[in-house]
A and B are shown apart, each in its own frame.
Chain A
Amino acid sequence: MKTADDNWLYVISHKRKLIELNFTEIWRYKDLLFLFVKRDIITAYKQTILGPLWYIIQPLFTSVIFTLIFNNLGQIKTGDINPFLFNLTGITLWNYFKQCLTGTSSTFTKNQNIFGKVYFPRVIMPMAVTISNLVKFGIQLLVLIGFYIYYLLRGDTLVLEPQYLLLFPIYVLMMALFSLGLGMLLSAMTTKYRDLTVLVSFGVQLLMYLSAVPYPLEEARAKFPPMVANLVELNPLSQIIEGFRFMVLNVGQFEMDKLLYSFIICILLFLFGLIVFNKTEQSFIDTV
């Protein structure tokens, strides 16, 4: 004999657990996840002439400008590495973060039309953004590899230590977790407080300068006032960028404890973002 009350397939209640990431449910919606990814990719540059070329143009131009301003004008030293390649490496990974963050942080406000009508695990949306940006990142990575080979053929000293390449998926994962966590947090908060949308757009710009993108960490330690230098040092993003550059270009230094530190921060931020996101998804439609 089954008891009457405890055998329900689904229960919708006002009480929720702190983390209620229902993996079986997300798994059931995996097709939707990939369809969203596909949608993002095929619709991104529809009805444009250059199409996916924009993926390439954007980081290239930014790198050129950075090289002109920071290296030619600003005299930032990048060691033996060609400054353009140095900048391109940092920007490639940074772009991934930036795209993910701006994409996920507007999850609720941008999708309120869909969210207001049908239910699916809301977390699918930011996940789709993170994955579809991975494709763009892949394309930009190919450009980076192209230039890497070019500089190699030109005779620059570039040492690639194969064992460090194993770190590559870890760095990308960290970037993904960090941007997803921060993005979910921001998107949850923007449903009530719209001030944050303004903050995100220029905050990302400012954050870039604190994340060791256009300069090596070494320079920061040497030239910034100690407080700012510490800030840059503590920023997990600058550790990720620096580590990524070390892996590709063999510049700067690699410190295991710094990697571990950033990894833990990324995980914590991701979990925190997820909790807030889950709390918000239930009732955001009333406040958005």
Chain B
Amino acid sequence: MTRSNVILKVENLSKQYRLGLIGTGTISHDLNRWWYKMRGKEDPYLKIGESNDRSSEGSSDYVWALRDINFEVNRGEVLGIIGKNGAGKSTLLKILSRVTGPTLGVIKSNGRIASLLEVGTGFHPEMTGRENIYLNGAILGMTKSEIVGKIDEIIDFSGCQRYIDTPVKRYSSGMTVRLAFAVAAHLEPDILVIDEVLAVGDAEFQKKAIGKMQDISKGEGRTVLFVSHNMASIKALCTKAIVLEHGEVAFNGQVEDALDYYLNNTMKSSEAIYINPQPNEDSDILEVKVLKKNELADTFGFNESVSIDFKIKVSEEDLAAKLGFKAIDQFERVIFTSNTLMSDVGITKEGTYTIKVIIPSSVLMPNKYRVVIGFHIHKKKLIRKLDQSIQFKIEETGSGFENYQKDDMGCVLLDCNWESQNNG
């Protein structure tokens, strides 16, 4: 019975792309390929090709967007697919949803796959909302009777009742998206492929959409493959995840471990010190250090305070400049802001200053944080903004909340005033 649980199996999946322009070179390669095939030989261009690293210039015209991908998905599982831009996520989804074919390898599935790669596919502007629901539903793989059974629900979900018999070209773009999402959300395939459609519509509709996604993936026991850059929603929706790196599976396992792996690898450049390579003539940040008891450090215990030292240079006309920072966690949530506006640091004359700020202990939940630093005169001048350079990590060393790790406890632990009174 274990077999029947695997609903999707990907074996040695590879996809090769040719770089550069398609022109006269194409036909000669095509002929060459055909010639090898006629003699019963292997395609010569499959031997070459490099892993897909966008930033480094390669020597071959062929790259492997995906190489030897293997994984299995069980029925009812929600699998997250994580990776940086260009890691091959979309290519994988495209092959899974049969938009394009693999160069090598096999995908076996025990159910219908439908994708929400992009909503609103095949909408015809001249047709009414209702007609488009039928058409779009059929394009996405529903039969007419399925759509008839759901049409009221779809119209209701979209919130476009009033316009439903008006051509879609008269719709606002938001309404089109709502209608499109409503159709897509009522698909009932065995395996659903979702790619970052969370960011559609206005805030109210987004909430509705995310809720629907959660229903689909949690409540209804559907198998879902979910691709997103939003780690928070990956964590909320998925049970397992794979990490793609340069077209290969770098990690495959439980979602927490996968997120950990991914974050450790993308935050690899973490540094506790920043030295400005080319400071401005007049005012600038010269140096930033993250310190634990006057030693450079990038990992702190929950009960330790984090101190950040700034060395800055101020010119006569920038005496009003303020220094501030934002702490951002690994899910790109901004946790808090602090600014010299709030305290008098006493910059009164031209010169260099060392400014020290201490983030109190037992406040930030164990997590990885990035600090965005700004040196500016409010609404007048941005002297320097440091976006990526400073990072640190808070580790669990006795917040007392270790046991709650599976739950999202927020980002900050606040020591509120609790009072109690014994009333007999």
Cβ-closest chain A residue relative to B98 = A119
Contact partner of B97 (CB less than 8 A), chosen from A7, A29, A119, is: A119
Q: Are A14 and B104 in contact (CB under 8 A)?
A: yes
**B117 contacts partner chain A, Cβ-Cβ < 8 Å:** yes
Q: Does B102 sit within 8 A of A, measured CB to CB?
A: yes
Verify B101–A12 contact, CB threshold 8 A: yes
Chain B nearest CB, measured from A280 CB (Å): 10
Bin chain B's interface residue count. 35 or more
Say whether B108 contacts A10, CB under 8 Å: yes
Contact B106 A2 (CB under 8 A): no
When distances are taken between beta carbons in the complex, the residues of chain B under 8 Å from A12 are 95-96, 98, 101-102, 106-109
Residue A153 interfacial (CB < 8 Å): no
Contact status of A2 and B143, CB under 8 A, knowing A12-B102, A114-B122, A118-B121? no
CB distance B121 to A39 under 8 Å? Answer: no
- Which chain A residue lies CB-closest to B10? A12
A118 to B112, CA, bound (A): 13
Please give, as numbers and ranges, the residues of chain B lying within 8 Å of A147 by CB-CB distance.
Answer: none
Tell me if B135 counts as interface (CB < 8 A to partner A): yes
Q: Which residue of B94, B107, B122, B127 is within 8 Å of A11 (Cβ)?
A: B107
Question: Judging by beta carbons under 8 Å apart, are A10 and B113 in contact?
Answer: yes
Q: Is the CB of B140 within 8 A of A29?
A: no
Q: Any chain A CB within 8 A of the CB of B134?
A: yes
Interface string of A19-36 (1 = CB under 8 A from B): 000000000110110011
- For chain A, the bracket of interface size reads 35 or more
B99-A116 in contact (CB<8A)? yes
User: By the criterion CB–CB under 8 Å, are A119 and B127 in contact?
Assistant: no
B111 interface residue, CB < 8 Å from A? yes
Q: How close is B149's CB to chain A, nearest CB, in angstroms? A: 13
Q: Are B106 and A13 in contact (CB under 8 A)?
A: yes
B115 touches A117 (CB 8 A): yes
- Indicate if the CB atoms of B104 and A114 lie closer than 8 Å: no
Smallest beta-carbon distance A112→chain B, Å: 10
From known contacts A43-B126, A120-B141, A192-B22, infer whether A4 and B109 are also in contact, taking CB-CB under 8 Å: no
B100 on interface, CB distance cutoff 8 Å: yes
Which residues on A sit within 8 Å (CB–CB) of B115? 117-119
Query: Which residues of A in the span 15-58 have a Cβ within 8 Å of any Cβ on B?
Result: 16, 28-29, 31-32, 35-36, 38-39, 42-43, 46-47
Task: Determine which of B103, B105, B127, B143 lies in contact with A31 in the assembled complex, contact meaning CB atoms within 8 Å.
Answer: B143
B124 close to A (CB within 8 Å): yes
- In the assembly, what is the distance between CA of A193 and CA of B3, in Å? 45
B35 close to A (CB within 8 Å): no
* B163-204 interface code vs A (CB 8 A; 1 in, 0 out): 000010000000000000000000000000000000000000
Q: Does A285 contact B (CB under 8 A)?
A: yes
Whether B95 contacts A285 by the Cβ 8 Å rule is no
- Residues in A58-96 with C-beta less than 8 Å from chain B: none
Complex Cα spacing A4 to B91, Å: 28
B42 interface residue per 8 A CB criterion:
no
Contact with B106, one of A11, A28, A119 (Cβ below 8 angstroms): A11
Q: Does B276 contact A (CB under 8 A)?
A: no
In the complex, A119 Cα to B124 Cα: how many Å? 18
A8: Cβ under 8 A from any B Cβ: yes
- In the complex, A192 Cα to B26 Cα: how many Å? 9
A286 within 8 A of B: yes
How many angstroms between the C-alpha atoms of A285 and B95 in the bound complex?
11
Query: Is A166 located at the chain interface by the 8 A CB criterion?
Result: no
Task: Tell me whether A115 is interfacial, beta carbon within 8 Å.
Answer: yes
The digit string for B119-154, where 1 denotes a CB below 8 A from any CB of A, is 001101011000100110011110110000000000
A8 touching B117, Cβ below 8 Å: no
Chain A residue with minimal CB distance to B144?
Answer: A31
Contact pick for B108, options A8, A36, A283, CB 8 Å: A8
- In chain A between 202 and 257, which residues have their CB closer than 8 angstroms to a CB of chain B? none
Complex Cα–Cα for A243 and B414 (A): 90
* Given A9-B111, A11-B107: A32 and B138 interface contact (C-beta under 8 Å): yes
Closest-CB distance, B169 to chain A (whole angstroms): 10
Instruction: Establish whether residues A2 and B101, one from each chain, have CB atoms under 8 Å apart when the complex forms.
Output: no
Contacts of A287 in B (CB 8 A): 22
Interface: B32 (CB within 8 A):
no
- By the criterion CB–CB under 8 Å, are B138 and A9 in contact? no
Q: How far is the CB of A188 from chain B (nearest CB, A)?
A: 13
CA distance A113 to B96 in the complex (A): 18
Interface check B118, CB cutoff 8 A? yes
Q: How far is the CA of A16 from the CA of B104 in the complex (A)?
A: 11
Question: Known contacts being A9-B111, A118-B140, is A285 close to B106, with CB within 8 Å?
Answer: no
Looking across the interface, which residue of chain B has its beta carbon closest to that of A2? Answer: B3
Q: Of all chain B residues, which has the CB nearest A121?
A: B98
Bound-complex Cα distance A285 to B22 (A): 13
Q: Taking the nearest CB of chain A, how far is it from the CB of B346, in angstroms?
A: 60
**Complex contact B100–A285 (CB within 8 A):** yes
Q: How far is the CA of A285 from the CA of B9 in the complex (A)?
A: 24
Which residues of B come within 8 Å of A, CB atoms? Answer: 3, 9, 17, 22, 26-27, 94-115, 117-118, 121-122, 124, 126-127, 131, 134-135, 138-141, 143-144, 167
Which residues from chain A sit less than 8 Å from chain B, CB to CB? 2, 4, 7-14, 16, 28-29, 31-32, 35-36, 38-39, 42-43, 46-47, 113-120, 192-193, 282-283, 285-287
The 5 closest A-B pairs by CB, nearest first: A282-B101, A119-B98, A32-B138, A31-B144, A8-B108
A-B contact pairs, 12 of them (CB 8 A): A9-B112, A10-B108, A10-B109, A10-B110, A10-B113, A12-B109, A16-B101, A28-B143, A31-B143, A35-B134, A35-B135, A38-B131
